[in-house]
Amino acid sequence: GAVVSQHPSWVICKSGTSVKIECRSLDFQATTMFWYRQFPKQSLMLMATSNEGSKATYEQGVEKDKFLINHASLTLSTLTVTSAHPEDSSFYICSESYLGLAGGQETQYFGPGTRLLVL
């Protein structure tokens, strides 16, 4: 089945530093990649959607200058949290949209997530 990896799985950083999270598709070439953030006991909050070679589309309320998304290839997307602060501490999850072979339906597959703690 489709496999999506994320790196790192855990990161602890000081306030003011930047953190880069990688999302990599191992089994397929993704048509669309999504970045989510999830606070404890909350639902997934979509941050942005990106397609390879184009600028990401950010959801309302998400600062595009703070959360930089680069979708360099069909198999790699990166999220950089710039000048991270304690309130950015969260669980960041990427997902990739895969257009199935049969029926043409798109399905999302999630990466394992990256837990960010900003001190």
Contacts to other proteins by CB under 8 A: 31-32, 34, 42-44, 46, 49, 51, 91, 93, 97, 103, 105-113
Residues 38, 44 contacting (CB under 8 angstroms): yes
Main-chain phi, psi angles of 48, to 5 degrees: -160, 160
Taking the least distance from each CB to other proteins, the nearer of 56 and 81 is: 56
Q: How far is the CB of 16 from other proteins (least distance, A)?
A: 27
Give the DSSP H or E segment for 37.
strand 32-38
Q: How far is the CB of 83 from other proteins (least distance, A)?
A: 26
Taking the least distance from each CB to other proteins, the nearer of 10 and 14 is: 10
Give the DSSP H or E segment for 12.
strand 10-13
- How many Å separate Cα 119 from the centre of its chain? 21
Give the DSSP H or E segment for 6.
strand 4-7
Taking the least distance from each CB to other proteins, the nearer of 35 and 67 is: 35
Q: Nearest 10 degrees: CA dihedral of 2, 7, 9, 13? A: -160
Q: How far is the CB of 76 from other proteins (least distance, A)?
A: 18
Taking the least distance from each CB to other proteins, the nearer of 44 and 82 is: 44
Q: How far is the CB of 46 from other proteins (least distance, A)?
A: 7
